[in-house]
Structure 1
Amino acid sequence: MKRIAILGGGTAGVAAAYFLAQSGAEHDVTLFEASPRLGGIVETVREGGFVIEGGPDGWVTEKPWALTLAQELGLGDEVIQSLDDTRKTYIYLDGRLEAMPNGMRMMVPGDLQAVEASALFSSEAKKAFLDEPARADALKAAAPDDDESVASFVARHFGPEVLTKIAAPLLSGVFGGDVNTLSVRAVMPAFVAMEREYGSLVTAVQAKAKGTQRPIFTTLRSGVGTLVEAMAAKIPLRWIRRNEPVKRLKRTGEGWLVDGRPFDDVLLATPVDVAAHLLEPTDHRAYELMQMEASSAVVVGFCFQENFDLPQGFGFLVPPGQGSLLMAATFMDQKFPGRIPSGGRLVRAFFGGASALRLMRCGNDEIASIARMELARILGPLPTPTITVVRRWPNSLPQYAVGHLGRMAELESRVQTIGNLWLLGNGYRGVGLPDLIRDARKAAQELSA
């Protein structure tokens, strides 16, 4: 019987334990989690008819692995999708909210007529969009052989205005990162593939839009936390060790010592900085490859019993330099159904980067007050919330810097050389819930083979 240690009880660690429990193989598993609860940044608060997400509010529909897991867990009836018929995303610019044109896939328009009618872009930016398809051959020829930053990639296609107004706030909302350092091959691989095939991103998006359109986001009616709760319910209780941070990891001839306890295999599912520290005595080069910047986030959910007018759509993004601490806000009851009781409203404020670091030092009441003030500056006066949820997520968003894929390939080679070791989590092969679930399933399958 294999003795398996899982270090970290976030989504990746819980998923790995769940898949091992379901494998049918005989395993002796211990899941170590430093905090009192499982799930990491995935947490759903359910109160007064509101469904309030403390972390991610769903996942990207086109990645199938989270949906497949939900169905396996018997949660098929819980699956709901985003209200895309009324989807709009706004950009806060020069003191006003301007809607992104319909048909945008991130910073790439599928409808050039909507771009021409938009008040969001200058005539120069509109011309850059309109001219991009005719530059297809030149763009394909100019594509670098090596990795490049998101900023370089977007600027080549559409120029600096589109980079600043659209790409920077969109990518910051997902990765909390700087487009000047983020790797385009790691964070936008689909667009890199489009450039290789079509040259023009506009032409590629238009071609792909001709197929069946699916809602962009998927979640669970009772919240994303239900996914973790359902997995945890199927993990043997004797496997789970809460409030037990691991301090030492040592490779032996036969396996591993985890704080002096022997195991055959280790799944490292801690945050990447913790994993790097634990691995340093075993392989310093692996430690070096795991060094990466990570940004922090603060999320504040406001539940209102009183209905009030909001712009139609999913929410807004704030580009750098607009004089707001906010990075984004989501109108949750307009993004997904079933988030609120009748007549209510649910708005989430999101802070990242330097703003998040400043707020981390504040108490919950002060954070909530600042968030309400920032929202009111943009949306107008707000009623008093009946429920407020504040969550801090320090160093929760690893930055996939230029060259990330190459570093991860070298890291994976070293991990295989070390042996009996798997790295799981959002620091390596994707930050979304589906990515974490995919990798956890693969590791469990390899251990159970």
Structure 2
Amino acid sequence: MKRVAIVGGGVAGVTAAYELAQQARKGVPLQGVLFEASTRLGGIIETVHEGEFVIECGPDAWVTEKPWARELAEELGLADEVMPSNDATRKTYVLIDKKLQAMPDGMRMMVPADLDALDQSELFSAEAKRAYREEPGRAEELRAAAPEGDESVAEFVQRHFGDEVLEKIGAPLLSGVFGGDVTKLSVQAVMAPFVTMEREHGSLIDALRTRSVAASKNSVFTTLRSGMGTLVDRMIAAIPEDWIRLSAEVQFTSCGEEGWLVGTARGVERFDALMMTAPVDVACSLLQPIDAEMAPLMEMDASSAVVVGFGFPDAAKFSIPTGFGFLVPPGSDSLLLAATFVDQKFEHRVPQGGRLMRAFFGGKAAERLMRCGNDETAAVARMELARVLGPLPEPQVTVVRRWPRSLPLYAVGHLERMKKLDSRVRAFKGLWLLGNGYRGVGVPDLVRDARAAAREIAGE
């Protein structure tokens, strides 16, 4: 019987345990033990159901074009729950000079597919619009200038579209997803499809125009009707109860001829394989004594996030613009990173006539709010939303979540560093590194990697 330790019960850890359990059901002789330091599984995926409001405390969806989360949902019997975002009314705003300015229709991140829609936009100056218009004509020059190695997101966007586009769209979009400084973020790690577009077409606008019509018909985001937490709950239900150890913080790991040893306050256990799915900071400290060269490759900055959800019983009491929400560029007067108009982004999120909004804080604002109580944090969030949207009524439901150092920063050179890290990991029999610090931060990426690793362990 092969014994597998899984250290960390976030999305990657739960998925790994679920896949191992599936393999065991097929007759593979293995047993998994999932160690989680806290009292619950799922990491930053958590859904609160209160008064008919469905409030996500972490990610509210996955990117539709990545298939792995959807495949898992369907396998778990959740096909009827899979639900697209309301893209017919998809509009995202940017807070500029204390006013919400709509991003032009047909944008894929900071790249427009429709230059006519761009002309109608009040978001950009005439100079920025001209930079967009001229980009296709610079295709050969851009392709020739594309560096062989990595560069920052800021350098990449500036080369194509200039400073204004970076400041108004590039920085807030990528800070919202990756929580990082665009002058440090690796373009190869966080915008790989755009790097490929540049190498093939030079012009990103030309490349986007050649994409299939079918791809543009899909909704951008997909979620579950009852919330993302259902995905985790269904997986947990399929994992043997005696595999799960809650409130079981791993204090050390070691590797020797006898295999892997994992120590908690309850004692030391031996395993044949170790799936390290803990946050990258924790993973780094646990593996440092095993391989001093591995740890420096795992050291990376990470940003914290604070999420505040407000459920209002009567949407008629205040108005918001039609769309999915707004982004706040760095250096703005607002403490917010972004806000989502949840009931407009997805169906089945509120009681009849209700309204649901989420406020996000990152960077220094999040670090400050980490030290505040829930009431103070909620009051700050409500005040910041009201500064943008006007006075807000008393919410019926308020949910506050803090996610310390939850978004690892993929700095320039990240992919090269991961190659070196992989070669160090391969030197140890039965070791896997999984989670959002390595090969992607989205739920589909975590699902893909965890299932592939579990199948590899089962097939050895």
Q: Which residue of 2 aligns with 1:8?
A: 8
Distance 1:253 1:197 in 2: 49
Separation in 2 of the partners of 1:359 and 1:15? 31
Amino acid paired to 2:285? H
Aligned partner of 1:97 among 93, 97, 100: 100
How is 1:204-353 mapped onto 2 (pairs within 5 angstroms)?
204-208=207-211, 210-212=213-215, 213-259=217-263, 260-307=268-315, 308-353=318-363
Tell me, what secondary structure is at the counterpart of 1:418?
coil
Q: Aligned residue for 1:366?
A: 376
The equivalent residue for 1:407 is 417
Q: CA deviation at 1:254?
A: 2.9
Moved more, 26-35 or 89-98: 26-35
Aligned AA (2:347): P
Question: Quick check: 2:139–2:202 contact (8 Å CA) kept in 1?
Answer: yes
Query: Which residue of structure 2 aligns with residue 198 of structure 1?
Result: 201
Q: Does residue 71 of structure 2 align to residue 64 of structure 1? A: no
What CA deviation, in whole Å up to 9, does each residue of 1:344-401 have, x standing for no partner?
A: 0000000001110000000000000000000000000111001000000000000000
Offset of 1:109 from its aligned partner? Answer: 0.3
Measure how far apart 1:211 and its partner are: 3.4
Q: Distance in 2 between matches of 1:364 and 1:346?
A: 18
| Distance in 2 of aligned mates of 1:5 and 1:115 | 52
Q: Are residues 1:177 and 2:180 paired?
A: yes
**What residue is the counterpart of 2:112 in the other structure?**
109
**Map 1:19-98 → 2, pairs under 5 A:** 19-23=19-23, 24=26, 25-98=28-101
Instruction: Give the aligned partner of residue 416 of structure 1.
Output: 426
* TM-score between the two structures when normalised by the length of structure 2: 0.97
- In 1: Cα distance, 2:202 partner to 2:242 partner: 55
Letter in 1 for 2:99: R
The answer for unaligned runs of 5 or more in structure 2 is none
Match of 1:440 in 2: 450
The CA distance in 2 between the partners of 1:245 and 1:424, in whole Å, is 17
- Structure 1, residues 196-240: CA drift from partner, whole Å, max 9, x if none? 111000011111153342000000000000000000000000000
Matched, 1:138 2:141: yes
Assess if the C-alpha contact under 8 Å between 2:138 and 2:203 holds in 1: yes
Counterpart of 1:245 in structure 2: which amino acid? E
| Number of residue-to-residue matches in the alignment | 449
1:110·1:209 contact (CA, 8 Å) conserved in 2?
no
1:166 to 140, 145, 169: 169
State the shift of 1:419 in Å.
Answer: 1.8
Quote the Cα distance in structure 1 between the aligned partners of 2:390 and 2:324: 17
Pick which of 24-33 and 107-116 moved more: 24-33
Which string of whole-angstrom CA distances, capped at 9 and with x for unpartnered residues, describes residues 243-287 of structure 1? Answer: 000010001113111013111100000000100000001111110
TM-score (norm 1): 0.99
Q: 1:18 maps to which residue?
A: 18
1:237 partner amino acid: E
> Distance between the aligned counterparts of 2:181 and 2:63, measured in 1?
22
> Unpaired runs of 5+ in structure 1?
none
- Give deviations 1:1-27, integer Å, cap 9, x for gaps: 101100000010000000000012121
1:148 corresponds to which of 146, 151, 167 = 151
Q: Which range is displaced more, 373-382 or 110-119? A: 110-119
| Matched-pair contact (CA < 8 Å) for 1:327–1:350 | yes
> Following the alignment from structure 1 to structure 2, what is the Cα–Cα distance between the partners of residues 321 and 148?
23
Cα distance in 2, alignment partners of residues 28 and 54 from structure 1: 31
Residues 106-153 of structure 1, C-alpha deviations (whole Å, 9 max, x = no match): 000000011111100011100000000000000000000110000000
Deviations 1:37-80 (A, max 9, x none): 00000000001111000000010000000000000000000100
| Contact 2:20 2:31 (C-alpha < 8 Å) held by counterparts | no
